[in-house]
């Protein structure tokens, strides 16, 4: 429980993040630039009228890789090359923050486990294509009760074996809740391990996968030091959490399964979302503490305008999402809400969250001008510059659209310039023009 006088977790984290205390700055100028940028981002989320429009990158991916160039495959396996790509890209583009390779996971993490939820460049796809997630029914409709009764058991003995053939032997373990009887049930557990050599192999596969992650984390740390400490760019993408509906739909039941469940077993689905909620909240809070980062990012998937009715959004999607956001805000944390797909009809819900606590990302399908109208004085918005526009349009077309965005959405503060989704194929001159329009705004209108 929080007390009025007590400093909230988020307050300390914001101060630390803005100070850059976690970085070794190349020089005083880098420190000052970093601090000014970080403060501008916080002030913009807080809806202060700074007279400036920060420019942030949703995720640059192939756009960055092309600076070396490196393929998607190499970006997931040869971190030194990918490191150079990100450094060169951010040296060449005047963003006010960075998002790095947080989603360009190490290929070894998946490969060691033959993880079947992903299709990888170099294995299933050409080297120059992005890895992609596979959505399937990993939890059967009749398993809701089993999950609700003992989630860890279901995850260990059902979910993991379905996600990875290397982890199939875990299904042979006895439920850990059986460690209750004579000698704590130890004979059953160790016998299961001894009788199934695959259990040991499964542990070795986990270890190998983990070693890839260790190497990758070390690389993310080097990127943070280089982009933060030398190029003075605050790291925008920190801890994460998920809307409970998305967890069920993306990771357990698949989209079709989650739709059928809304009609066929709504009580079970709601019970599971309520079960997931406190865990997600804690996951976000723990992530913020571990990373020393005050902005928790929520990528939203299945609640877009076209994916369910408003009534379904209000019954199934929003209630636990709202509680999750409110829980994070209660801790003093800020929330980067990454809406995906058209979100026009849902925007008004974000007014139910205390003002100046959220940064709402808009993809190009959402009407940014409507969003400004709906959320002015309530939450900061960002994004919307179409990836297709940046990839295929002329510099003049990009300038015209961004200029309109800056003038309308930038008015009075509470707006950041950003593109719609992954940059990938964008033309450099278009991205630079988008940035230039945002920077010009501060000089010409204040």
CB of residue 310 to another protein, shortest distance in Å: 9
Q: Tokens in use for 108? A: 């070894």
Tell me: does residue 253 bind another protein (CB under 8 A). no
Residue from the set 280, 312, 357, 430 that interacts with another protein by CB under 8 A = 312
By CB under 8 A, is residue 306 in contact with another protein? Answer: yes
In the range 374-413, which residues lie near another protein by CB under 8 A? Answer: 386-389, 391-393
Contact characters 108-137, another protein, x per CB under 8 A: -----------x-----xx--xx-x-x---
**Binding residue for another protein, selected from 189, 213, 259, 370, defined by CB under 8 A:** 259
Candidate residues 3, 28, 182, 263; the one interacting with another protein per rule CB under 8 A: 263
Stretch that binds another protein, among 2-10, 20-28, 89-97, 259-267 (CB under 8 A): 259-267
The CA distance from 370 to 181, in Å, is 62
For residues 156 and 393, which CB has a smaller minimum distance to another protein in the complex? 393
Check residue 62 for interaction with another protein (CB under 8 A): yes
Kindly report the three-state secondary structure assignment for every residue of the chain. CCCCCCCCHHHHHHHHHHHCCCCCCCCHHHHHHHHHHHHHHHHHHCCCCCCCCCECCCCCCHHHHCCCCCCHHHHHHCHHHHHHHHHHHHHHCCCCCECCCCCCCCHHHHHCCCCCCEECECCCECCCCCCEECCCCCCCHHHHHHHHHCHHHHHHHHHHHHHCHHHHHHHHCCCHHHCCCHHHHHHHHHHHHHHCHHHHHHHHHHHHHHHHHHHHHHHHHHHHHHHHHHCCCCECCCCEECCHHHHHHHHHHHHHHHHHHHHHCHHHHHHHHHHHHHHHHHHHHHHHHHHCCCEEEEECCCCCCCCCCHHHHHHHHHHHHHHHHHHHHHCCCEEEEECCCCCHHHHHHHHHCCCCCEEEEECCCCCHHHHHHHHCCCCEEEECECHHHHHHCCHHHHHHHHHHHHHHHCCCCCEEECECCCCCCCCHHHHHHHHHHHHHHHHHHC
The answer to the question of residue 425 lying near another protein (CB under 8 A) is yes
Do residues 58 and 337 touch, judged by C-beta distance below 8 A?
A: no
Stretch that binds another protein, among 85-93, 255-263, 291-299, 371-379 (CB under 8 A): 255-263
Interface stretch with another protein, choices 84-92, 211-219, 301-309, 398-406 (CB under 8 A):
301-309
Decide whether 306 or 446 has the Cβ nearer to another protein: 306
Rounded least distance, CB 265 to another protein, Å: 11
Is residue 262 involved in binding another protein (CB under 8 A)?
Answer: yes
Size of the site for another protein (CB under 8 A): 37
Choose between 87 and 423: whose C-beta lies nearer to another protein: 423
Q: Does 207 bind another protein (CB under 8 A)?
A: no
Give least dist CB 241 to another protein, A.
23
251 lies in the binding site for another protein (CB under 8 A): no
* Cβ 317 to another protein shortest distance, Å: 11
Q: What x-and-dash track marks residues 340-359 binding another protein by CB under 8 A? A: -x------------------
Which residues contribute to the site for another protein (CB under 8 A)? 62, 119, 125-126, 129-130, 132, 134, 255-256, 259-260, 262-264, 306-309, 312, 341, 363-365, 386-389, 391-393, 420-422, 424-426
């Amino acid at each position: 429980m929080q007390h009025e006088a007590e400093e909230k977790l988020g307050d300390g984290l914001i101060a630390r993040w803005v100070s850059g205390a976690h970085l070794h700055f190349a020089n005083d100028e880098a420190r000052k630039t970093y601090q000014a940028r970080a403060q501008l981002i916080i002030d913009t989320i807080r809806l202060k009228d700074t007279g400036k429009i920060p420019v942030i990158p949703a995720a640059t991916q192939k756009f960055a890789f092309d600076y070396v160039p490196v393929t998607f495959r190499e970006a997931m396996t040869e971190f030194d090359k990918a490191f150079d790509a990100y450094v060169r890209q951010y040296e060449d583009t005047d963003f006010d923050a960075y998002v790095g390779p947080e989603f360009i996971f190490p290929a070894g993490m998946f490969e060691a486990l033959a993880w079947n939820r992903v299709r990888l460049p170099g294995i299933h796809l050409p080297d120059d294509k992005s890895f992609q997630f596979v959505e399937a029914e990993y939890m059967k409709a009749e398993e809701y009760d089993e999950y609700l009764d003992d989630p860890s058991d279901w995850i260990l003995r059902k979910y993991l074996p379905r996600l990875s053939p290397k982890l199939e032997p875990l299904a042979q373990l006895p439920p850990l809740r059986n460690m209750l009887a004579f000698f704590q049930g130890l004979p059953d557990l160790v016998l299961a391990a001894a009788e199934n050599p695959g259990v040991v192999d499964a542990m070795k596969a986990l270890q190998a996968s983990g070693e890839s992650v260790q190497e990758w984390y070390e690389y993310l740390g080097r990127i943070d030091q280089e982009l933060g400490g030398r190029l003075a760019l605050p790291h925008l993408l920190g801890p994460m959490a998920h809307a409970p509906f998305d967890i069920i739909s993306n990771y357990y039941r698949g989209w079709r399964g989650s739709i059928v469940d809304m009609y066929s077993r709504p009580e079970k689905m709601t019970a599971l979302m309520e079960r997931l909620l406190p865990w997600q909240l804690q996951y976000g809070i723990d992530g913020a503490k571990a990373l020393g980062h005050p902005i928790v990012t929520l990528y939203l998937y299945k609640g877009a305008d076209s994916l369910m009715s408003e009534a379904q959004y209000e019954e199934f999607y929003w209630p636990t999402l709202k509680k999750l956001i409110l829980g994070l805000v209660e801790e003093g944390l800020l929330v980067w809400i990454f809406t995906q797909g058209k979100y026009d009809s849902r925007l008004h819900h974000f007014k139910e969250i205390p003002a100046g606590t959220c940064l709402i990302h808009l993809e190009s399908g959402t009407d940014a001008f409507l969003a400004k109208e709906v959320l002015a004085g309530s939450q900061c918005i960002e994004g919307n510059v179409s990836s297709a526009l940046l990839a295929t349009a002329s510099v003049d077309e990009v300038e015209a659209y961004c200029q309109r965005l800056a003038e309308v959405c930038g008015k009075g503060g509470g707006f950041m310039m950003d593109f719609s989704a992954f940059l990938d194929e964008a033309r450099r001159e278009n991205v630079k023009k988008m940035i230039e329009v945002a920077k010009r705004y501060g000089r010409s209108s204040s």
